[in-house]
Amino acid sequence: MGNLYGKLMHCKQLLDGHLFEGFLRKVRRWTMAEEQNVEQFKGQARLPKFAAPKRYDLFLKPDLASCTFSGSVRIALDVVGHTRFLVLNAADLAVNEGSVWFRSSSSSEEIRPAEIVAVEGDEILIIRFDRLLPRGEGVLGIGFQGTLNDKMKGFYRSTYEHKGEKKNMAVTQFEPVDARRCFPCWDEPVCKATFKITLEVPSELVALSNMPVVEEKPDGPSRIVSFEESPIMSTYLVAIVVGLFDYVEASTSDGTKVRVYCQVGKSSQGKFALDVAVKTLDLYKKYFAVPYPLPKLDMVAIPDFAAGAMENYGLVTYREKALLFDDRHSAASNKQQVAIVVAHELAHQWFGNLVTMEWWTHLWLNEGFATWVSYLAADSLFPEWNVWTQFLDETTTGFRLDALAESHPIEVDINHASEIDEIFDAISYKKGASVIRMLQSYLGAECFQKALASYIKKFAYSNAKTEDLWTVLEKESGEPVKKLMHSWTKQKGYPVLSVRVRDGNLEFEQTQFLSSGSSGVGQWIVPITLCCCSYKSQEKFLLETKSDKMNLTKLCDSFDSGKGGKFWIKVNVNQTGFYRVNYDDELASKLQYAIESHQLTATDRFGVLDDSFALSMACKQTLSSLLSLMAAYKEESEYTLLSHIITTSYKVVDVVADAAPELVDDIKTFFISLLQYPAEKLGWDPKDGESHLDAMLRGEILTALAEFGHDITINEAVKRFHAFMEDRDTSFLPPDTRKAAYVALMKTVNNSNKVGYESLLRIYRETDLSQEKARILSALASSPDPSVVLEALNFLLSSEVRNQDAVYGLAGISREGRDIAWMWLKENWEHISKTCGSGFLITRFISSIVSPFSSDEKGDEIENFFATRSKPSISRTLKQSIERVRVNAKWVKSIQSETSLGEVVEELAYRVY
């Protein structure tokens, strides 16, 4: 070792770089571990790398009655450094001191540790031996016990009813860093190893893991189940499920067995997901040019589940709502969600499981890609769903978060395990997926696919960094991918392009877009596309500087600056780029004309509206001009567009209610008028053979009309609801319209007439379909009476609502219930942070309740309340939510200074009606 150190010292003299110093210090730490004590391992982001696991032989015995488990693990290691220490992860486990041993393959002697230290805060186990471990292969053995917790992470219990009896099942959820709560392990994605798992379970229960069963032996009232050894994989993808289940089964074209497991009696609800899975596996095999690597794929519905779904290798787990589809009671939107979630998790079997990120900084490689690929699959399976238009909802959510100063770069530094949960956010998923779409459309679909296939091949059974992907893409395309993409993944934010016509030129200037209206300092390499007067005439170029211009006469025949004819220019064609565009007045009014005369594609109509909304919120445009633009969509019939008009109008109504309450009625009248035509066309009853998108649209439009207090809709909803309550005939209230009816009903509920509320609770209690429960929860807090809202919020915390489901209720809090919801959050904070505090569910309590406020006073109050209550796992969400409050406050003030707003609103409400 002294030798290596000496050589490095020599190199240092040659290079004498500052960076080298740091490197050297690290090397000294690794190589001289034998001289040091346990303290050096504390407070580190990553485990020391002087031993690498190769194979885990894991035995676990869950006890579902006492909710505990015991286990033992033998880990085959490669000892690469000279060390007296082994440092690995473990948390909430009782390690049996006497059970720990190490045996080197070079000697048969078992070495016992001199000391075992569990460092709670760092979730590590330091095993100190009193002599150096021989380098080379060895085996570490550990026995341990743990609790099947109720926190939906690690090895946990989920509950269900079987024949009227309450039962427990044992389930794992390890991503990001909770495998260490089930067994001691090197719990980092880069520490890939094989897993040979054996379980001892009660004989009557189904036991599942990543791989197929190789052997089952009865053992008294138990059964010993051993599974095949897995290929090498990361710890966060290991999974185990033990409980009572039914299943449905099918095979892919090359014989991979696929099963969907769900609660006993519900197996027919698994058929849709099964069909999607089989087709998707075949599709990905072609797309990635690598077959699905495992002998089987199981997908299981878990009653208590923190995320939506989890891509464990060969054993994907889901919330029931995201996997099961019921022909009579599920809505078209539920069907689409199931398809997208399945396609997403299966994409991970390649992107994530076969090729894994090197560290959590590259999480977006997993999540951004799976999100993007899931649309590719859904588009191929269900072309009539127009999912690439719907994809813009993802982009927009990415835009919205990334317009905050408190956003973060796609590639984000992670210094502590507790910071990881929060980056499963719209930046990693939605901005990630959007910049991939941007790159794919810049490089071309074919080239992109080829490069992905060779990336998968090159890094299969290994790990990759963002840079590795760029290298492969650069090689395949010959384009400067690295330079281009670094500007999007290494800095936060995105640009807005100001575009104007000057002296026969089209001038572009980029600045960072921030919702606060300030200008950031970021600069990007922007793949600009534009079309002029028709989609036939398109241009593309890379904007590599702050500003640039191009000659318009060359670009567009119909351009004649003197006459200002009917030409129009749309920048960011079909919204494939992750940037916004701010047109000068002339270009903006021409685009409005292009929308009115039906010349723009749906994606471009979406982009124009969304950019205008964002610019208005950032006080770069008046609200009046946004509203005038919205009027251009009065003949709109496309699902995604109308859906987006609805979300936009909710936000506008909200801010106007704070800025100029006297205008709210007229604004609502205007928005109702925009929805009138499709509402009449769609009605309440499904039409024979109607499209999936019409079915989804009906639900959203009726919900919006109910939200805006449209009497005819509310009365019809209440009438239908009562008919439905009488005999539960679904033809009165088909699933697509149910949420609308529930919201409408809640608009009529107040403290002195709570019949509607009670009826909803009755349905909630009677149904065993999780989608129906979610639908009811999402309507329950939408009453205009704060005391009813309070009752609904308390219900969310009752034992009747699973912890995983409270989030649905929070999303539906009425404007009138805002203040009481904040009071409720403060009063229940202790309890909420205890019950939901250890995962990302808690961040939803903050973002849903805090973000809608719109005054600086409220911002201060929220800041004060959390001053002593913040912690690493919520601090990012908290800062973002408070920033949103301040952005809203600014927007309110700017609207108040818009002198002609009243006239514009009156005109619009009157004109269209």
Residues taking part in catalysis: 345
- Binds 176, which of Zn ion, ligand BES, none (CB < 5 to 8 A, cut-off by type)? ligand BES
249 is known to lie in a ligand binding site: no
How many Å apart are CA 212 and CA 193, to the nearest integer? Answer: 18
Residue 307 in the binding site for ligand BES (CB under 6 A)? yes
d(CA 572, CA 28): 52
Residue 344 binds ligand BES, judged by CB under 6 A? yes
Report if residue 420 touches Zn ion, rule: CB under 5 A: no
**Is 507 part of any known ligand binding site?**
no
175: partner contacted, choices ligand BES, Zn ion, none (Cβ within 5-8 A by kind): ligand BES
Neighbouring C-alpha atoms within 13 Å toward the C-beta of 564:
9
The phi and psi torsions of 801 (rounded to 5 degrees) equal -115, 125
User: How far is CA 209 from its chain centroid?
Assistant: 25
Q: What is the pattern of x (binds ligand BES, CB under 6 A) and - over residues 386-425?
A: --------------------------------------x-
424 binds, among ligand BES, Zn ion, none (CB under 5 to 8 A by kind): ligand BES
Half-sphere exposure of 202 (CA within 13 A, CB side): 14
Stretch that binds ligand BES, among 35-43, 58-66, 306-314, 540-548 (CB under 6 A): 306-314
The answer to whether 348 is a known ligand-binding residue is: yes
With respect to Zn ion, which residue has the nearer C-beta, 370 or 706? 370
Question: Closest approach of Cβ 130 to ligand BES, in Å?
Answer: 39
Which CB, 311 or 658, lies closer to ligand BES?
Answer: 311
Please say whether the beta carbons of 365 and 268 come within 8 A: no
Contacts of 340 (CB under 8 A, 6+ apart): 374, 375, 378, 387
Residue 786: asked if its preceding bond is cis (omega within 30°), the reply is no
Q: Which is nearer to Zn ion, 367 or 658 (CB)?
A: 367
The H or E element containing residue 623 is helix 623-631
Cβ-based nearer residue to Zn ion, 148 or 297: 297
- Does 309 bind ligand BES (CB under 6 A)? Our answer is yes
Residues 174-233 that bind ligand BES (CB under 6 A): 175-176
CB 270 within 8 A of CB 323: yes
Query: Rounded to the nearest 10 degrees, what angle do helices 872-896 and 841-850 cross at?
Result: 20
Q: How far apart are CA 137 and CA 512, in angstroms?
A: 53
Is 310 one of the binding residues for ligand BES (CB under 6 A)? yes
Contact 202, 148 (CB under 8 A): no
Q: Are 782 and 714 in contact (CB under 8 A)?
A: no
- Position among 279, 296, 321, 348 found at the interface with ligand BES (CB under 6 A): 348
Q: Within 424-543, where are the H helices?
A: 426, 432-443, 445-459, 466-477, 481-489
Least separation in angstroms between residue 352's CB and Zn ion is 7
Determine the Cα–Cα distance for residues 133 and 79; give it in Å rounded to an integer.
8
| Residue from 134, 202, 293, 308 in contact with ligand BES (CB under 6 A) | 308
Q: Which stretch binds Zn ion (CB under 5 A): 368-376, 393-401, 578-586, 819-827?
A: 368-376
Other beta carbons within 10 angstroms of residue 419's beta carbon come to: 18
Which residue in the block uniquely carries the two structure tokens 């109720």? 150
Residue 773 interacts with ligand BES (CB under 6 A)?
no
Nearer to ligand BES, 169 or 316 (CB): 316
- Give the nearest residue (CB) to ligand BES: 308
308 binds, among ligand BES, Zn ion, none (CB under 5 to 8 A by kind): ligand BES
- Beta-carbon contacts of 512 under 8 Å, excluding residues fewer than 6 positions away, are 493, 494, 495, 496, 519, 520, 521, 522, 523
Residue closer to Zn ion by CB (options 372, 808) is 372
* Residue 309 interaction partner, one of ligand BES, Zn ion, none, beta carbon < 5-8 Å per kind: ligand BES
Residue of 827, 835, 837, 783 whose CA lies nearest to 809: 783
Stretch touching Zn ion by CB under 5 A, among 361-369, 619-627, 699-707, 717-725: 361-369
The residue (of 348 and 431) whose beta carbon lies closer to ligand BES is 348
Number of residues counted as binding ligand BES (CB under 6 A)? 15
Q: Which region, judged by CB under 5 A, interacts with Zn ion, from 245-253, 362-370, 822-830, 837-845? A: 362-370
- Stretch near ligand BES under the rule CB under 6 A, chosen from 72-80, 221-229, 344-352, 611-619: 344-352
What is the total residue count of the chain?
A: 913
Tell me: does residue 370 bind Zn ion (CB under 5 A).
yes
Residue 109 · residue 132 · CB < 8 Å: no
DSSP code at position 515: T
Give the interface size with Zn ion as a residue count (CB under 5 A): 2
CB of 342 to ligand BES, least distance (A): 8
Q: Which two tokens stand for residue 60?
A: 């676990």
Residue with tokens 């089987």: 296
Our finding on whether 426 is near ligand BES (CB under 6 A) is no
CB closer to ligand BES, 345 vs 468: 345
Span from 338-346, 497-505, 748-756, 890-898 in contact with ligand BES (CB under 6 A): 338-346
DSSP 8-class letter at 112: P
Q: What share of the chain is helix, strand, coil (3-state, %, to 5)?
A: 50, 20, 30
User: What 8-state DSSP symbol labels residue 113?
Assistant: P
- Quick note: the x/- pattern for ligand BES over 603-632, rule CB under 6 A, is ------------------------------
Amino acid at 536: K
452-511 binders of ligand BES (CB under 6 A): none
DSSP 82: -
Work out how close the CB of 295 gets to ligand BES at its nearest, in angstroms, rounded to a whole number.
Answer: 22
CB of 322 to ligand BES, least distance (A): 7
* 735 phi and psi angles, rounded to 5 deg: -55, -35
432 is an interface residue for ligand BES by CB under 6 A = no
For 754, residues 6+ apart whose C-beta sits below 8 A from its C-beta are: 788
> Strands 206-209 and 124-128: what pairing?
unpaired
Considering only the stretches 302-310, 394-402, 653-661, 683-691, report the one whose residues sit in contact with ligand BES under the rule CB under 6 A: 302-310
Closest CA to 845 of 856, 859, 831: 831
| Residue 307 binds: one of ligand BES, Zn ion, none (C-beta under 5 to 8 A by kind) | ligand BES
Q: Which is nearer to ligand BES, 294 or 653 (CB)?
A: 294
Provide CB contacts within 8 A for 108, sequence distance 6+: none
Binding site partner of 340, from Zn ion, ligand BES, none, Cβ cut-off 5-8 A by kind: ligand BES
For 237-267, the DSSP string reads: G--EEEE--EEEEEE-TT--EEEEEESTT-G
Nearer to ligand BES, 326 or 345 (CB): 345
Contact positions vs ligand BES (CB under 6 A): 175-176, 307-311, 340-341, 344-345, 348, 367, 370, 424
Known binding-site residues equal 344, 348, 367
Contact positions vs Zn ion (CB under 5 A): 367, 370
Known binding-site residues for Zn(2+) equal 344, 348, 367
